[in-house]
Chains A and B, each alone.
Chain A
């Protein structure tokens, strides 16, 4: 069983829609949490860190629930340029804080 689980999608949404992605992790020793974005098998790029209090960056809102071991990402007012794969990521202190990736959720925003 993979330590970080995501719904692979694809999520097909129209421009302007709100879409939410969920992620669960199995290791309670998880240290840090991130959402990365990956376009067409290019390198992953950091979208945002996820903090316990929840955080927002423009149209993107991330939430963390440590008790339920659950992370979410909300995208409001979707743009065509948001089409990508979104990777849920956690780090653990016992592996040099290497990133543990979910398999990703694919998003396609259509006109």
Chain B
């Protein structure tokens, strides 16, 4: 079925480890986004991508790296995980440059850093 999938759904790791969260969409949407959700902050944008090989920082990019070699994939890497990066991570995609198109979200990855 078409859609947007994230993996893993749950991840526990230790501080200092590298972690990669995967996001895959089958709609061929141009735009993809990564958000994190924390109590007291709501959802905040980490990085976004307008097309393959085009990425840009969002509100909270520090400690994260993204890439977009293919339109359908947008992995998010924590190069050296810290406890403050414990969060729920959502990937989203949308089509259309004018912002009128809503975004579709994956199920999220619950990441705990010990």
Q: Hey, which bits of chain A sit against chain B, CB under 8 A?
A: 2, 31-32, 34, 41-46, 49, 87, 91-93, 95-104
Task: Flag if B99 contacts A91 (CB, 8 Å).
Answer: yes
Q: What count of chain B residues pass the 8 Å CB interface test? A: 30
- A24 and B48 CA atoms in complex are apart in Å by 24
Stretch at the interface among B17-25, B39-47, B68-76: B39-47
- A104 and B50 CA atoms in complex are apart in Å by 27
Task: Flag if A99 contacts B45 (CB, 8 Å).
Answer: yes
With known contacts A42-B108, A43-B108, A44-B105, A97–B99 Cβ distance under 8 A? yes
- A31 and B99 CA atoms in complex are apart in Å by 7
Q: Hey, which bits of chain B sit against chain A, CB under 8 A?
A: 31, 33, 35, 37, 40-45, 48-50, 56, 58, 88, 90, 92, 94, 97-100, 102-108
With A41-B88, A49-B100, A49-B102 given, name 20 new contacts (CB 8 A): A31-B98, A32-B99, A41-B108, A42-B107, A43-B105, A43-B107, A43-B108, A46-B103, A46-B104, A91-B99, A93-B99, A95-B48, A96-B31, A97-B31, A97-B98, A98-B58, A99-B45, A100-B45, A101-B43, A103-B41
